[in-house]
Structure 1
Amino acid sequence: MIDLHSHILPGIDDGAKTLDESLAMARIAVDDGIHTMACTPHIYPGMYMNDGPGIAQACARLQAELDQRDITLKLVVGADVHLVPGLIDGLKSGQVPTLHGSRYFLLEPSHTTPPPQLEASVFHLITEGYTPIITHPERLSWVESHYPVFLRLIEQGAWMQVTAGALTGVFGKRARYWGERFIGEGHTHLLATDAHSTGRRLPRLTEGLAVARRLVGDQEASRLVNERPAAVLDNLPPQDFGLTPMEAVRPSVISTWFSRRRASL
């Protein structure tokens, strides 16, 4: 499997604090069946002042440590990026890294407030040739009142990434419901760990993937962690790896699942 969202680089954001923690996270990921992981620390002006060259250097240093210890995890460069002025210039210059140098990059909206002009901003990014991957929409406090906005972003050409831990209840009932809904209704392109540590937010995909399989079947679940992440790293056209229409995937099961979850909130 391929994990395109992690905070495994030590000491540069709110993820791994030390090299030993990064190594332990890498071992957990490999044991879980993850063979490639994107190092995607936060880039958030005023809080996490990371940039493309610095992330690339940190990624290379950690890769050397993994290779020295025969930990068979391949690292690639990326970032968890906020929607701020100058983002397109940063992407073009390389100060804000895309995923493995591709057209795809992780875009993290504010957790508490809908970004002003979100749809217009995402459309502008797409017209500039980029494919924003909206991270963990299921965990945003405003998802319930803005669910149709995310569907319109998908229509524009944005991708959605759900966190595996949300599907197993790590972030509570509400995030679990919305994570299941994004996947079950066919509005999710990628499943990722968003791993920060070896504790609650550890780098495991398998438990969340099992939930996705129950919702959309083996083939579409595989696309969430294999085919589409590989397409991202190979910089293949997004339209060639679109979403599977969910009306073809056990609609009665999905409807029953959501009704039960919604009632428990």
Structure 2
Amino acid sequence: MIDLHCHMLPAIDDGAKDLETSLQMAEIAVEDGISITVCTPHIYPGVFPNTLAGIRRAAWDLQCELLDAGIPLQLTYGADIQVVPDLVQGLQDKTLPSLHGSRYFLFEPPHHVATPILADLLYNVLLAGYIPVITHPERLSYIEADYDLFVNAARQGAWLQLTGGSLLGAFGSRAQRAAERFLADGVTHVLASDGHNLDGRAPVLAEARDAAAAIVGEEEAWRMVLDRPHAVVSNAEPDSVPLPVGLVGGIRRRKRVKKSWPARLFNR
């Protein structure tokens, strides 16, 4: 499996507190069946002022530590990007990192206060050729009122990413119900761990994949943790893997996606 959203880098945001925690998180991910993790610390002005250069260096340093420790986890990097000024410009000039340098990037809406400019932001980044992967909409405190906004965003070309733990009740019954609704409506593209630590927010996906399979079927559940994440890190076209059934009126015939690991960003 490929985890597109994980806070594994040590002491860079509210994720892993130190290197030892990062190494243990990596071991947990590998034991769960994850082979590639995209390290995506927060970029949140005034709280987590991370930069592309700093994230890239931290990911490289952690990859070296994993190699030394014999932990077979491939890392790359991106960021969990909050609503920031000049979002499109930041992606274009690479001050804001996309996922593995691709056209896809994690976009984190405000957790507790809906922003009236969200639809305009999504439209502008789509128009510029980027694909926002909207993180954990099921966990937003206002999701019941704004559910259709996120479904419409998906219909316009954004991708929706649910947190695996939401399906298992880790964030309460409201988030679980919303996650199940997104899956049942056939508008979910990706499951990710959003792992932050070793216990309540561990970087695991297998159990959540099974829970998703009970709603959308085995093949579609695997698309959420393997095929679509692979398309992201390969910078493939959004339709290189069938889109969720609720967005296309039916699962189309699956296109083949080359399974080789793409060129490593660290050498770019």
Q: Is TM more than 0.5 here?
A: yes
- Write the mapping of 1:26-37 to structure 2, written as runs, cut at 5 A: 26-37=26-37
For the residues of structure 2 that align with 1:103 and 1:156, how far apart are their CA atoms? 16
1:38 aligns with 2:45: no
CA distance in 1: counterparts of 2:241 and 2:2, whole angstroms: 15
Provide the aligned length of Structure 1 versus Structure 2. 249
Which residue is equivalent to 2:180?
A: 180
Contact 2:188 2:244 in 1 (8 A): no
| Contact 1:39–1:79 (CA under 8 A) maintained in structure 2 | yes
The structure richer in helix per residue is 1
Counterpart in 1 of 2:14? Answer: 14
Contact 1:13 1:42 in 2 (8 A): yes
Using the TM superposition, give the Cα deviation of residue 241 of structure 1 relative to its aligned residue in structure 2, in angstroms: 2.8
Q: Is the 8 A contact 2:189 2:244 kept in 1?
A: no
- Cα offset, 1:91, TM superposition: 1.0
Identity of aligned residues (%): 49
Q: Deviation digits for residues 166-189 of structure 1, max 9, x if unmatched?
A: 000100001000111111211110
CA displacement at 1:248 relative to structure 2:
6.3
Partner amino acid, structure 1, of 2:86: G
Looking at structure 1, the residues matched to 141 and 242 of structure 2 have their Cα atoms a distance apart, in angstroms, of: 27
**TM-score, normalising length: structure 2:** 0.91
User: What is aligned with 1:99?
Assistant: 99
Question: What is the CA–CA distance in structure 2 between the aligned matches of 1:44 and 1:24, rounded to whole Å?
Answer: 26
Distance 1:223 1:105 in 2: 18
Q: 1:218-233 alignment to 2 at 5 Å?
A: 218-233=218-233
Which stretches in structure 1 are left out of the alignment for 5+ residues? 250-265
Superposition map of 1:101-250 within 5 A: 101-245=101-245
Task: Structure 2 unaligned segments of length 5 or more: list them.
Answer: 252-268
Cross-structure match for 2:77: 77
Question: Is the Cα–Cα contact under 8 Å of residues 105 and 132 in structure 1 kept in the other structure?
Answer: yes
**Matched AA of 1:144:** E
Q: TM-score, normalised by structure 1?
A: 0.92
Deviation at 1:69, TM superposition (A): 0.8
1:51/1:95 contact within 8 Å kept: yes
Greater CA drift, 85-94 or 165-174: 85-94
Asked whether the 8 Å contact 1:41–1:78 carries over to 2, the reply is: yes
Secondary structure, in 3 states, of the residue corresponding to 1:5? Answer: strand
- Shift of residue 242, structure 1, vs aligned partner: 4.3
Please tell me whether the aligned partners of residues 161 and 189 of structure 1 are also in contact (alpha carbons under 8 angstroms): yes
Q: Deviations over 1:79-120 (max 9, x none)?
A: 000111111121112111000000000000000011222111
Q: CA deviation at 1:239?
A: 2.8
Distance 1:60 1:244 in 2: 34
Once residues 239 and 27 of structure 2 are traced to their aligned partners in structure 1, the CA distance between those partners, rounded to angstroms, is: 34
- SS class of match (1:180): helix
1:80 and 1:93 map into 2 onto residues whose CA distance is: 17
1:137–1:143 Cα contact (<8 Å) kept:
yes
**Conserved 8 A contact 1:186-1:243:** no
Q: Does structure 2 conserve the Cα–Cα contact (< 8 Å) formed by 1:189 and 1:242?
A: no
SS where residue 4 of structure 1 aligns?
A: strand
